[in-house]
Amino acid sequence: MSRKQAAKARPGKAETERKRDERAARRVLARERRNRPQAEGEGGGGGGLAGQLQALGLRLREVPGDGNCLFRALGDQLEGHSRNHLKHRQETVDYMVKRREDFEPFVEDDVPFEKHVANLAQPGTFAGNDAIVAFARNNQVNVVIHQLNAPLWQIRGTDSSSARELHIAYRYGEHYDSVRKINDNSEAPARLQTEMLCRNESNKKEKILLKKEEESEEEIRDEIEDAVQKVQNATGCLDVDFIVQVLESEDCNLESTIFAVLQMNEAKRIHAVEAHEAQANRQKPLPKPALWEENGSGARLFGTREIENNKRGLVEGNQTSKKQAPKVSNKQKKEQQRLSKKRRQEDRHRQKVLAGKSHNVDNNKSETDPKAPVTLVKTFAALNI
């Protein structure tokens, strides 16, 4: 190979500088990872900023902290790599010089504007918010900044609704990194939109809430079915709707529900017996008065004609009483039956209380006797029907 061919085979000066710059950036990044103190909450393990981004389906693509991190991160978002950070820096400074009236009022520490932009043009000089605003306006993009436990910051470089978004992360109070999708390891430009991230996050939360609600409803349904089965086994009642209603009124207390169902079954039984007795009494014929029979005492005293007159008077009197008796509706009859039943229940309850008092008196008397037997009774919650 001749000397001219060897010279052509060797890479050019620009390519050599680019590779040297990349090697230096890799060394800086490796040294930075070893020496950078882990800020609280920004470590790995799914916590901190990494966990916060992971919840949005994002991850960090770290760039070297060599003072060029802002333009490296923005370049990675815009072009898919960070090799043109010096070009982006110079274009940003040129834009600030052209729009001096927009940026000069925000220069801090009483530094002259010329000196500020001259320093900013030097590689390795830290760039701040004014540089982000100038970059966004110059490239007609919106820059979204992610921070730990803080809302997203958006710096708008254009009012266009279809403008691109560049997502970067601000960490440790001095360093910027690029933000990409979890599975994006390419060197293609990042394509992220805040609206999409918010929609994904809200859909994820809604799915979690729906899943929890379905699980809780299923657990409640299983508990109710189990409680209904136990009440059926204890009481023999097969009316599921009635048992569920009593469970709800008793705050799902199983013992109270069983006691209430037993009490109601007993009340129904008593009501049925009383109704049967009343029906039987109505079907019995009324006995004839013996006084006015043909051979009765009235016939012997007053004669048969008087008997007929008395019978006629009784019939007319009954007819008159029937006419005078006010008609009673079915509702009033039911109300009378209910009041009658209530009075009978109160009488039985009063008798039980009196019997209980006498029993307590006997128990108090027997307390003095150490040999007297003691009976333990399981207590149920009282129910007023």
Identity of the amino acid at 185: N
Looking at per-residue pLDDT, the higher value among 113 and 26 belongs to 113
Q: Is 69 a catalytic residue?
A: yes
Looking at per-residue pLDDT, the higher value among 67 and 273 belongs to 67
The 10 Å Cβ neighbour count of residue 69 is 27
In this prediction, residues 63-70 reach a mean pLDDT of 93
Spatial distance between the Cα atoms of 85 and 94, rounded to a whole number of angstroms: 14
Spatial distance between the Cα atoms of 298 and 310, rounded to a whole number of angstroms: 10
Looking at per-residue pLDDT, the higher value among 366 and 65 belongs to 65
Which one, of 131, 156, 158, lies nearest residue 75 by Cα? 131
pLDDT tens digit string along 307-365? 555 555 555 555 555 445 455 567 677 777 777 777 777 777 667 666 665 555 455 44
Q: How confident is the model at residue 12 (pLDDT cuts 50, 70, 90)?
A: low
Identity of the amino acid at 289: P
Which one, of 372, 385, 150, 110, lies nearest residue 261 by Cα? 385
Q: Is 237 a catalytic residue?
A: no
Residue 80, classed as helix, strand or coil, is coil
CATH for 45-192?
A: 3.90.70.80
Q: Contact, 187 vs 80, CB < 8 A?
A: yes
Q: What tokens were used for 315?
A: 């019939």
Spatial distance between the Cα atoms of 364 and 368, rounded to a whole number of angstroms: 8
Q: What is the mean pLDDT of the chain?
A: 75
Spatial distance between the Cα atoms of 257 and 379, rounded to a whole number of angstroms: 13
Residue with tokens 């990675």: 76
In this prediction, residues 126-137 reach a mean pLDDT of 94
Q: What b/e sequence results for 311-325 when a residue is b if at least 16 CB atoms lie within 10 Å of its CB, and e otherwise?
A: eeeeeeeeeeeeeee
Q: Work out the end-to-end distance of the chain between its first and last CA atoms, rounded to an integer number of angstroms.
A: 113
Q: What is the DSSP string of 331-345?
A: HHHHHHHHHHHHHHH
Residue 8 pLDDT > 60: no
Residue 162 pLDDT > 80: yes
pLDDT tens digit string along 173-226? 889 999 999 999 999 999 898 876 655 556 655 666 777 666 677 777 778 888
Residue with tokens 């050019």: 12
Residue 373 pLDDT > 50: no
Residues sharing a CB contact under 8 Å with residue 176, sequence separation 6 or more, in sequence order: 63, 69, 70, 72, 73, 168, 169, 170
Tell me how many degrees the CA angle 226-229-234 measures, rounded to the nearest 5.
Answer: 125
Q: What tokens were used for 319?
A: 């007819």
Q: Contact, 145 vs 185, CB < 8 A?
A: no
Spatial distance between the Cα atoms of 231 and 229, rounded to a whole number of angstroms: 5
Phi, psi (deg, nearest 5) at residue 189: -60, 145
pLDDT above 70 covers a percentage of the chain that reads 61
Single out the catalytic residue among 66, 76, 130, 177. Answer: 66
pLDDT tens digit string along 87-97? 999 999 999 99
- 227-241, 252-266, 342-356: the lowest-pLDDT one: 342-356
Residue 254, classed as helix, strand or coil, is helix
pLDDT above 90 covers a percentage of the chain that reads 30
Distance set, CA 344 to CA 330, 340, 347, 382 (Å): 21, 6, 5, 20
Q: Pairing relation of β-strands 165-171 and 142-146?
A: parallel
Residue 144, classed as helix, strand or coil, is strand
Q: How confident is the model at residue 11 (pLDDT cuts 50, 70, 90)?
A: low
Single out the catalytic residue among 88, 175, 177, 237. Answer: 175
Instruction: Parse the chain into domains and list their residue ranges.
Output: 45-192
Q: Is 276 a catalytic residue?
A: no
Extended beta strands in the chain, E state? 58-61, 142-146, 153-156, 165-171, 175-181
